[in-house]
Amino acid sequence: MQPHLLPLLSDLFGGGHLRDELRRGFASGKTKPIAYRKEQLARLAYMVQENRDAFHEAMTSDLGRGTLENDFMDFQPALGEITDAYNNVEKWSKPQKPAFNINWFAMNPEIRKEPKGTVLIISPFNFPMVLILGPLAGALAAGCTALIKPSEQAPATAAVYARLVPQYLDPDACRVVLGAVPETTKLLELQWDQILYTGSARVAKIVLAAAAKHLTPVVTELGGKNPVIVDPKMDLTLAARRIAWGKFSNSGQICVSPDYVIVTEEIKEKFIKELLAVYATFYPDGPRHSDSFSRMATKNHAARMQRLLAETKGKIVIGGETEVEERYVAPTIVKDVEWDDALMEDELFAPVMPIVVVKDVDEAIARVNSREHALALYIFSNDASYRKKVLDNTQSGTVVVNDVVIQYAAYDMPFGGVGGSGTGASTGRYGYEAFTHFRTTVVGKGWLDSIILKNRFPPYTDAKLKA
Ligand code: NAD
C-alpha cells in the first residue's frame, strides 16, 4: 500500500467521506454564482502556472517524456482548457431561448443551464494533466462540485494533485482521491450526479454497470484501433512524416494515435521508404537514448508489446527492440501484417505501426467497418471524391484529413467517440455541457386558459374536438 493512500482509505471506509462533503458544498449553493466559478477556475490556472516545474518533473517521471513534448501535448492544452472555461463561462451559462412559437412565446420559455451536482472524474495515465484538468474545468465552470481520481499508473503526477489541489481550490468544490482498482470500486459504489470516465473500454463496462445501479449518467471517453487510410495518389512524404509523428509521440499512448495504416500494394514499398527516411530524421542517433522519445507507462504494457512483437515472424521493418525493465519499446514499423495477426486484435497503445495491404478503397472501407467504430479515422488524400467516399461510408468519433492527432485540440468542437469508442464529449463548451442540465422552464399564465389552453379541461365535448 502506498502511504499516500492511507488518508483516502480511512476517509472512504470511515465516516463522513469526501463525496458527502462535496455534496454539502453543492447544497450550500456557493458554487452556483458565476463569480465563484471564475474564482475557482482562476485558482486552477494559478495552480498549473505556479507549479510548472513540479508538473513537468512528475510527467517526465511517469512517462519518460521530454519537456517540450510534455508542454505541447499536456501542459499547454490543460491550461488552454482552463482559460477557455474561465473566458467563456458567462456566455456558456446564459439561459437559451427556444425558437419563436406562437403557442409558447407568452409562457417565457427558457432553457436554464444548471449544474448537475456532485460529480466524479476518473482519468487514465497517458495525459495526466489535460485529461483531468480539462474535465475539471468543465465541471467547475458548470458550478458542480467534483471529485477527481487520477490514474495510479501516473503516480508522480497524481501525487502533485494530492499536494496542490487542497492548497489552491476550495475543498467544498474539489477533492482528490488517489488509488487504483479497490479505491475506484469503492467510489463507484456511491451515487454521483455525473461520472466522466476516460480510459479503456474494458473498464468502461465496469464503470457503466456500477453507475446503472444509481441511474448515474456517464460520459465515456474511450479508445480503439484508429485506422489510417492512404490514397495511392497521396504525397507519401507528407503522409509518412505526419503518421510517424502521431504514432511515435507519447510512445503511441494517445487515444487518437494512428493504430494501423492501410495502403495498397502499389505504394507499400514507397511509403515504407518514406517512413524510414522520417525515422532517421526524428532519431538521428537512434530512439533508445533520444530525448524526443518517451516510455511506456508500465512494465506490464512494455511486456505485452514484447510478446506481440515476438509473434510478428520477421515482418519488422525497423525497431522491434524492447527493454521491459526500462519500459522501453522502440518505435517499430511492421509490414505485411494480416488482418487476423495478433497486432490487429486490440488497440496497441504503443509505438508500433502495423501496415496492412488492401486492393482498393472499397476493401479499406469494408475492413474498417468490420471493427468497432474507432475514436479517430485518418484519411490521407487530396482527392475530394476519395475523401467523400470514405467519410460517407464509415463511422468514427472524429476524422482528420491529411493529418493525425490534432483534433483533440480543435477549438470549440466536440471531442468524443461513437459506439465502442465512447459516448458524449469532454472538451471546451462540450465539457461544460457534460456537467450541465438543460432545464426546460415555462411559466403558465392564467389568461392563457381563455385562449390556447382552454380545450384541455373536461368535459371533452365534440365542440372542443372540432375547435
Ligand atoms: P484504464 O481503463 O486501465 O484506467 C483508467 C482509469 O480507470 C484509471 O483511473 C484506473 O484507476 C481506473 N480503473 C482501472 N481498472 C478499474 C476497475 N477494474 N474498476 C474501476 N476503475 C478502474 O485505462 P488506461 O490504461 O489508464 O488508459 C488507456 C486507455 O484510455 C486506452 O484505451 C485509451 O485509448 C483510452 N483513452 C481515451 C481517451 C479519450 O479521450 N477518448 C483519452 C486517453 C486515453
CA of 193 to the centre of ligand 1 (A): 20
Residue 447: predicted pLDDT: 87
Residue ID of nearest Cα to ligand 1 atom 31 = 200
- Give me 365's grid cell: 472501407
> How many C-beta neighbours within 10 Å does residue 93 have?
19
Tell me if 223 CB under 6 Å of ligand 1: yes
pLDDT at 195: 98
Name the closest-CA residue to atom 26, ligand 1: 124
Distance 295 CA to ligand 1 centre (A): 18
Question: Confidence band (pLDDT; 50, 70, 90) for 15?
Answer: very low
Is the CB of 427 inside a 6 Å radius of any atom of ligand 1?
no
User: Which of the residue ranges 3-17, 152-166, 288-302, 451-465 would you say has the lowest mean pLDDT?
Assistant: 3-17
Q: Which of the four pLDDT bands, split at 50, 70 and 90, describes residue 93?
A: very high
Cell of 224: 480503439
Name the H helices within 64-154: 67-70, 76-93, 130-142
Residues designated catalytic: 221, 255
- Whether 422 is in the pocket of ligand 1, judged by its Cβ within 6 Å, is yes
* Helix, strand, coil percentages in the chain from 3-state DSSP, rounded to 5: 50, 15, 35
Rounded distance between C-alpha atoms, residue 47 and residue 37, angstroms: 15
Q: Whose CA is nearest to atom 34 of ligand 1?
A: 223
Mean pLDDT value across residues 157-186: 97
Give the distance (Å) from ligand 1 centre to CA of residue 247. 19
Alpha-carbon gap, residue 440 to 119, rounded angstroms: 22
Taking CA atoms only, the protein residue closest to ligand 1 atom 30 is 199
Beta-bridge mates of residue 356: 262
Q: Which residues pair with 401 in a beta bridge?
A: 379
Q: Could you tell me the distance, in angstroms and rounded to a whole number, from the CA of residue 445 to the centre of ligand 1?
A: 50
How far is the first Cα of the chain from the last one, in angstroms, to the nearest whole number? Answer: 74
**For residue 5, pLDDT beyond 80:** no
